[in-house]
Chains A and B, each alone.
Chain A
Amino acid sequence: MAGQGSVLERIDAVDEPFAKPEIESVRQLTATTVVAMETYQGGEFRVLARKEFIKRFRCSVCHTEKPMAARDGALFTHGDIRINHGRAGDALVCAECHHEKERDFLADSQGLKVDFDHSYQLCGKCHFRQKRDWIGGAHGKRETYWAGERVVQNCTGCHNPHSPAFPRKMPETYSLPLDD
């Protein structure tokens, strides 16, 4: 039977990591994942890949040597993008996250190239607290399984990078009062 002491006593009594491979019902995810360039308290973990969900990837197919006015892009091809990221009245501009020369990559203010699959590296430059929590597991979402190899959502899996705040919407249902 369970129940040797309180939960906290039981937690404190264990130092060994849980033997992960023993859960046979945990299958490999069908989604594409990449090994994160960070490690969490349990070592290496994986992140859901992003690039295959970007509709017009690779960007360099259009963004060639030919110069293009940023204003035209915002009006035509990328007219669906509304930037609502950054302080009110001082929104970010494309080049603050996207690499100016190599369009298939993101870039931070120091010009460090960041792969779209590893966008947490870029987001974490400003949102370092969220990134720390995301690496540990207090922010973000694990995918499908609590057991087995750790696979988590990328920042962009939940947040629209151009408008990262969650939208307001109607609730799915309602709850009855507790005393009913």
Chain B
Amino acid sequence: MDDKKLKSSPGQKSSRRSFLKGAAALTAAGSAGLLTGGCGGSVSAETMGLQWEEFFKKNYRLMTPEEKQATVDRLERLARIRHDLDIEVSNREPRENVLYGYAFNISRCKGYMDCVEACVRENNLDRRSKTQYIRLFEMDPGQLDPTSGEGRYFHEVPAANKFYMGVQCFHCENAPCIKACPTKATWREPDGIVVVDYDWCIGCRYCLAACPYWGRRFNWGEPEVPLDEINRRQHYLGNRMRMKGVMEKCTFCIQRSREGRLPACAEACPTGSRVFGNLLDPDSEIRFVLKNKKVFRFKEDLGTDPKFWYFMD
């Protein structure tokens, strides 16, 4: 197939031996690049050591508590060295008897999109490609399929005879994205949050294809966030800075929810359309909604068992 190409480069005799030689040289160059960060010899021995250890660390789920603490410390130190930035990376574990759930009031949302903006800022989402975990659509009455809605509405809201529906990751109990991942880089935590180990993701995007809810986002380029806008309160499985070529998604703001706080979207919503809480607490607001309001889940027939309900007054 490539005969022409090979022939057209004169003096390049390709044999198995020379190919292997070249491959070995490439590997050597590659690991040198890993050590130096690819920018010459100006990197300190400390940085090189940190990068080396970061590269060969385990999948987050296989780490011991000490190893988790060590990688978190390394990430904080690296941010300090590289960007002169003091970040606080948490590795807070899930809590006992907590299963997070979310409810969205489609009759009360006014389409202001404060949630989308708050999410972008909270989760250090790439500003250049305009990555958003939440998408909000202006819908015609009677429609319940967000693909029929319009997300680019450039007029004052709420518009007459329209309603607004937001979609994001629904944190399915039986999540297709988890099954699709060939490297086990994504899983569901015991508190129900579906997370990604960004360092274990190979960027194959199978999960993106598997998700029936358009819940996942891919970093086609190096994510860009202005340094002064970076949210420094981070979580290893949440809003720490992603790299080029990895998958990311809504984590119910794991860095906030595991501290007992509401996700940024729920806190930012000026209309109270977003209800978040512990499904295993019979007294919680989310349980009140499930018990007393008309609720439905999107594409429930797929059997994905999402923990995100829509409800109406």
Interchain CB contact under 8 A, A168 and B157: yes
Select one of B260, B261, B275, B282 contacting A137, CB under 8 A.
B275
Interchain CB contact under 8 A, B97 and A158: no
Interchain CB contact under 8 A, A175 and B157: no
Contact with A along B247-282 (1 / 0, CB 8 A): 000000000010111100001011110011111111
* B66 on the A face (CB < 8 A): no
* Chain B residues at the A interface, C-beta cutoff of 8 Å: 95, 97-99, 101, 103, 105, 108, 110-114, 116-117, 120, 130, 132, 134-137, 146-147, 151-158, 167, 173-174, 188-192, 214, 257, 259-262, 267, 269-272, 275-290, 292-293, 305, 307, 311, 313
* A138 on the B face (CB < 8 A): yes
Interchain CB contact under 8 A, A144 and B132: no
Chain B CB count within 10 A is highest, among A7, A14, A139, for: A7
Give the residues in chain B near A19, CB-CB below 8 Å: 97
Interchain CB contact under 8 A, B288 and A136: yes
* A23 on the B face (CB < 8 A): yes
Say which size band chain A's interface belongs to: 35 or more
Interchain CB contact under 8 A, A177 and B151: yes
Between A and B, 5 residue pairs with Cβ closer than 8 Å are A10-B279, A14-B280, A23-B259, A173-B132, A176-B132
* B267 (CB) vs chain A CBs: closest residue: A144
Interchain CB contact under 8 A, B117 and A173: yes
* A147 on the B face (CB < 8 A): yes
Shortest CB distance B290–A (Å): 8
Give the residues in chain A near B111, CB-CB below 8 Å: 171
Give the residues in chain B near A148, CB-CB below 8 Å: 260
**A64 CA / B71 CA spacing, docked (Å):** 67
Interchain CB contact under 8 A, A144 and B97: no
**A148 CA / B277 CA spacing, docked (Å):** 11
Interchain CB contact under 8 A, B311 and A138: yes
Give the residues in chain B near A16, CB-CB below 8 Å: 97, 282
Interchain CB contact under 8 A, B135 and A3: no
* B272 (CB) vs chain A CBs: closest residue: A141
